[in-house]
Amino acid sequence: MTAHIAVLGGGSFGTVIANIMAENGYPVRQWLRDESTAIAMNQQHENKRYLPGYQLSEQLTASTDMHWVIAGAEAVFVSIPSSSFRQVVQQAKPWLTTEQLLISTTKGVEASSFKLMSQILQEELPGGRIGVLSGPNLAKEIAQGHITASVIASDDPALCERVQHILCSKSFRAYASTDVYGVELGGTLKNIYAIASGLSAALGVGENTKSMLITRSLAEMSRFAVAKGANPMTFLGLSGIGDLIVTCTSPLSRNYRVGFALGQGKNLDDAVAELGEVAEGVNTLKEVRQQASEHDIYMPLVMGLFEVVFNHAPVKQVIANMMGNQPNVDVDFAV
Ligand SMILES: NC(=O)C1=CN([C@@H]2O[C@H](COP(=O)(O)OP(=O)(O)OC[C@H]3O[C@@H](n4cnc5c(N)ncnc54)[C@H](OP(=O)(O)O)[C@@H]3O)[C@@H](O)[C@H]2O)C=CC1
Ligand SMILES: O=C(CO)COP(=O)(O)O
């Protein structure tokens, strides 16, 4: 009998990857915290709140019973926002084993510790087989059947190979990487620049400006990565520039939408409340700005965006200040 796969989290991304694997023929058990949602999902084969109209496979069963979901699973995907990630992993710990494949899909950073999700998994499950799934993966596009690629990163090659096998389908591809930190950092940092891009789109900027913003975002992300000991070359892949492009250009990105709402003059609380889903970039912005200040990393976009988002600085003034900075080299890290 095929072992089942577990997914923790009932949001849009958890649901869409659970369904890919179920459609690939694996029995999938998805844990969510709300009993009425689990019952409705099993009866209607639809996650009405997060992915209305998306037909779920009969191989996918939603449950609030974490033991039933995790025990005996071959792989456990954790798709919980960073703000609750550690707490849910701690809840899951009694049933997790070091034989299971444990994969984070979360693109965020723990508040104040600056730990990425795979680092939390390592701390909570020492000796575990840990991986990270990250890439240009708008859940709603995957649900619409658009061809999509992602990256599975792990220092365990057998994990990468197995996850590639479980996830690959006629419309979904998973490429492998051994650079867990680089892949995870790319997926986390790009959310900041998606907010900046949404904001600038609301201001009606031109295509030159949009292109400049994405490219200078990549430069800034790379500078941060190098300061943190990561390999900036990983940012040239799907989990770096790939994810940066999609989230900085698509109104389906929640981070972009928060930025757009800010650009329309809404305040942060209203923009986030209106979204009703997670926008990881808001917390990431705060944490990265703190890191940049502490470690003296030149990040003018992060600094400017922080002033606009958290200190109500007038956008036009912040842009004017940035335009006064000395333009530096184009590409910092050439081979
Ligand atoms: N959506 C996307 O396109 C993509 C998202 N990601 C990443 O995946 C992660 C999850 O995002 P996504 O699925 O989109 O998020 P959503 O906002 O769509 O859903 C979040 C889910 O997490 C649940 N949740 C939140 N807190 C808890 C908790 N304490 N205990 C149990 N469940 C909890 C919510 O439950 P409830 O409904 O009950 O509140 C909800 O089911 C994020 O880090 C995101 O960056 C990665 C790639 C693409
Ligand atoms: O990470 C994503 C796409 O790759 C989803 O981005 P948002 O969280 O901004 O919707």
Q: pLDDT (tens digit, 9 = 90+) per residue, 132-187?
A: 999 999 999 999 999 999 999 999 999 999 999 999 999 999 999 999 999 999 99
Please list, in sequence order, all residues whose beta carbon lies within 8 angstroms of the beta carbon of residue 265, skipping any fewer than 6 positions away. Answer: none
Q: For residue 279, which ligand has an atom nearest its CA?
A: 2
- Would residue 190 show up in a list of annotated catalytic residues for this protein? yes
Question: What are the angstrom distances between the C-alpha of 102 and each of 77, 154, 327?
Answer: 6, 10, 43
Does pLDDT of 335 surpass 90?
Answer: no
Ligand 1: does its nearest atom lie under 6 Å from the Cβ of 26?
A: no
- pTM for the full model? 0.97
149 contacts 166 by C-beta, under 8 angstroms: no
Please tell me the predicted confidence (pLDDT) of residue 1. Answer: 63
Whether 258 is in the pocket of ligand 2, judged by its Cβ within 6 Å, is: no
Q: For residue 101, how far is the Cα from the chain centroid?
A: 19
Identify whether the C-beta of residue 193 lies closer than 8 Å to the C-beta of residue 248: yes
Q: What per-residue confidence (pLDDT) applies to 25?
A: 97
Alpha helices for 24-93 (secondary structure H): 35-44, 66-70, 82-92
Ligand 2 pocket test, candidate residues 217, 253, 280, most atoms within 8 A of CB = 253
Residue 312 and residue 50: Cα distance in Å, rounded? 31
Which residue has tokens 């899951």? 92
Distance 247 CA to ligand 2 centre (A): 6
Confidence of residue 303 (pLDDT cuts 50, 70, 90): very high
> In angstroms, what is the span from residue 303 Cα to ligand 1's centroid?
27
Contact call for residues 152 and 175 (beta carbons, < 8 A): yes
Computed over every residue of the chain, the mean pLDDT equals 96
Residue 334 has pLDDT above 80, yes or no: no
The answer to whether 31 and 91 have CB atoms below 8 angstroms apart is: no
Greatest Cα pair distance, the chain, in angstroms, is 65
Rounded to the nearest whole angstrom, what is the distance from the C-alpha of residue 283 to the centroid of ligand 1?
Answer: 14
Q: Which residue has the tokens 């930025």?
A: 259
* Residue from 190, 266, 286, 316 carrying the catalytic annotation: 190
Q: How far apart are CA 32 and CA 41, in angstroms?
A: 11
Contact 305, 192 (CB under 8 A): yes
Minimal CA–CA distance to 242: which of 157, 177, 294?
A: 177
> Among residues of the chain, what percentage have pLDDT more than 90?
95
The H or E element containing residue 176 is strand 172-177
Residue 83, pLDDT above cutoff 80: yes
53 C-beta neighbours (distance < 10 Å), count: 9
Residue 56 φ/ψ region, left for φ over 0, alpha for ψ in the -120 to 50 degree band, beta for the rest: beta
Q: Strand 129-134 vs strand 148-153: parallel, antiparallel, or unpaired?
A: antiparallel
Residue among 37, 33, 55 nearest 45 (CA): 55
pLDDT, one tens digit per residue, over 217-252 is 999 999 999 999 999 999 999 999 999 999 999 999
The ipTM of this complex is 0.98
**CA–CA gap between residue 330 and residue 335 (Å, rounded):** 14
Q: CA of 8: how far to CAs of 33, 104, 242, in Å?
A: 9, 10, 25
Q: Pairing state of beta strands 148-153 and 172-177?
A: parallel
User: 21 by DSSP, 3-state: which?
Assistant: helix
Read off the tokens for 5: 């796969």
Answer yes or no: is pLDDT of 125 > 80: yes
